Structure 1
Amino acid sequence: MLGKYIRILLRRKRESIYSSLLIYFILFALIPTLILNFVYYSLASKSINDAITKLGNEMIVKVCGELNYFFESVIRVGDVAADNQHIQTALRMDYGSDVALRYSKDLEMDAELYFASFLQPKIEGLSVLGANGGEYKSYDRTFLNQVHKDQDWYKTIEESKGYVWFPPHQGQFANVSDVEREAFVSCGRAIIDKATGEVNGVLLIDINEKVIKDIISAEVGESGYVLILDVDNNVIISTIDMKGKLIGIENIQHSEGKSFTIDLQVNNGEKTSTQSVIATYQEIPVTGWKVMGIIPVKQLNQWGNILLLLTGFLTIVIVGLAVYTAVRTSNRVTKPITNLRLAMGQVEKGDMEVNITTDSHYEEVNELAGSFNIMVAKVKELMNRIYEEQRKLRKAELKVLQSQINPHFLYNTLDSILWLNRSEKKQEVEILVESLTTFFRVGISRGKDIITIEEEVKHLESYLRIQHIRYGDRFQYSIKVQEEALGCLVPKLILQPLAENSIYHGVKLKKTDCRIDTRIEKQGDRIIMIMEDSGAGMTQEKVSLLNRALEGEKIPDFELYGVRNIKERLQILLKEDVSMIYESREGEGTRVTISIPETTSEIANA
């Protein structure tokens, strides 16, 4: 029915390209978008539910493992105390009316229990209650004024064959609590006389409920929670304020470690509330209790609502973009020929920024417009390339001249000559004057851009000799050149700027003495130049940025210390593969390696 209506509408509007494009764009955008959004919503909802459920399962396994490990450590402490030879001996004694002996033994056994409690610092305390009337404890809380043997907990422990675990209870069974409202989890075992095999007392271990709550305090989801249930499925500890009977979980005994959905009724003593939840549980082997993670289904529904809103928003945005695109396309189709004629007139006047954008349904017009754009782009590219090469060459030549006559360097050198002359250090003055003369003579080199490596080395050596006198013993230097490389031609002023960087960004920033070592050798048809200093060095991040910048990457606010000029000049003059790589370690030094093709006489004379 909808398709028939669209066909009739298009038949009436056959001459309206605007309407046709608009309808088709909306249909082609809306239908796939609705399908994709439905699939996305279904898959995303399932993925979120699975992820939250998996997280809950992993959390419960982790919490259960931590609790079991903790309870096992408590049992180990209890075993150490119950099997203690001194405690065994004390429980066999008959004190009669000897108060002094009883008091002395009390102190000794208190100390034994005190040291045993160090094995698990989270234990609140240990108490030993002997059949002979002996009462010992690991902490300074007094015993309650009661006959312990008559208490139900004592009888339960005495009759058991292993450890008995008691859920949280207000106060302590045998001792006076610091705070009456404090809750404690207790466990106990009968103390068997190793000599006779008879029960001669019980061991009681108290654990503050807060310790266990701290272990299970990791929540499952934003509104999930963790419960500890006893063997009868009563909530005994929880991360929220809830205790009571959980109704509806009697038939989950075979679901341990798996997630299941259940309508849970929670009775907190005042009212019963029902909520649909996703639950998972693990049994604590030591106690037989269960650790249960609860995630309310409404929490998952909240994520589903968010996804629904998101997909609806995306649908509106995509349809809106489709309508906008259809309108723009329809408007462009009506004037391609006029735009092409006007553009040709602009190019004839020298305007190379012209670019025709047309989406005409006439194929010939589109091809003509595309070819015109390609032609203009090629002409513009060639003009820009010529302009850029000339600009780089002129800029490089200008920087070469600036480096040849560095007023700051010349001023410092002349100032050093004047100072040394006043100090009557004639030998140093002669060295400086000779080095400065060589420096400028090689630097100017009768206007040539290409010189021999021997001349380049003289230029570098004169610069280093001048700086060595100025800086004293702050650095030492060496220059090693392979004999076969001395006569090779290279662009001038390569090494001196690198040495200047080593001094100002390496030597000056390091408090200790440094070295600058230069090595030049010929490898096949390439010249390898390596300059290495033991200065301040750079971080690996800075080295990476420097090498990326040398490869042409635009990095804002990054200082290249003039090295880019060296590589650009080499690339312009040699027009071949030029490599310039930095290596550095912060606090250890920097190495730069330059690899260039051997310069031919044709390039030198160009």
Structure 2
Amino acid sequence: MINIKKKNLFMNIDDYCHGVFDSTFIVDKNGNLIYKIGNIDYDNIMLEKVNNYTVNVNNVKYMEFNSVIEAYPEWRVIGLISLDSLTRNLDSIRWLIYCIGIFSIAVVIFISHFTSKKITDPIYDITKAMNKFENGEWPDKLEAKTEDELKYLIISFNKMIYNIKNLIEQIYKEEEENKKLEVESMKTQLDLLQSQINPHFIHNTLNTINYLAIKNNQNEIRELIQSFNGLLRQSISTSKKLITLKDELTCTQNYLKIQKYRYGDIVKLVCNIPEELNNCLVPKLILQPLIENSLYHGIVPKGCAGTIKIDIFPQKDFIKIKIIDDGVGISKRKSTHKGFNGISLDNISERLRLYFGSEYDLKVYSKSGIGTCIEFNIPYIY
């Protein structure tokens, strides 16, 4: 026989059952108590079965756990847990679950609201800006606060507003420039119209004088009348604003023939013009005033014979024209002088800008005592 204390035998079970059950009983196969853990007296209780897992002990319901001990197959462990304590724990767990659920829902709502606001606010700002633009007001520049597709939408919207604003400003600017050009065009046409006094009477008179010169064999007078008549016809004609380069040169040569009878052989005209450019169109009376300016303010003040050279040569996108003289230079010349047709250098410069744009302007290069070069470009027009 071996004498062992029960407590030492069930030491491991004792520690476990204290933490799990309210009371624990170890009984043999006949129901005799071998060991007890807890405050319930096994001898005085009546295990009234309520169902397979619940028993009633002294009007208190317990959850029963019944299991065989593997080391001692004839012994069983009966553990009782009060249903009230279980219920209290379940209620605590239930309230904890409710709190966690409510907190989770609140977090989800907050995150959803924050996320939706982050998406809808930029869209609302764009909508507000578009409504402002529809009402005729320029919206303020929008700021992209996100790094998603909305950022590119806002950037594109800002770029669209910027381009539209620049386009409208450019249209206004072009309208103002067109108004100025129209005014200058009217002034130019008025200057041309001032020279159109009784053109038919002048032509008829010149034709009569020419007839008398032919009749009396006055060839010099006839040549003078023909040159003047051709120059006058070209000057007072308003049917064409552009004429061929060949016709413009003819007009210039007629003008110099007339001046020859006044000044003699004081000026020599040299023309360097490719034949393929003869049919190019240029503004009417664009060369004759420049030749006249070179004659009166370059060659005549010089006091001796001089040369006026016309150089015309093609470029890639335009025709370059140069009027070069070996006169006294620009320091003694006036760009505002109005000659035969009342057309000054300033007037020619304005006409070039009017017809072809601001980049087609008159340029004057001169050196006192050496001469002057007047240069300008004409686009190809046929």
- With the length of structure 2 as denominator, give the TM-score of the two structures: 0.46
- With the length of structure 1 as denominator, give the TM-score of the two structures: 0.30
Q: Which has the larger radius of gyration?
A: 2
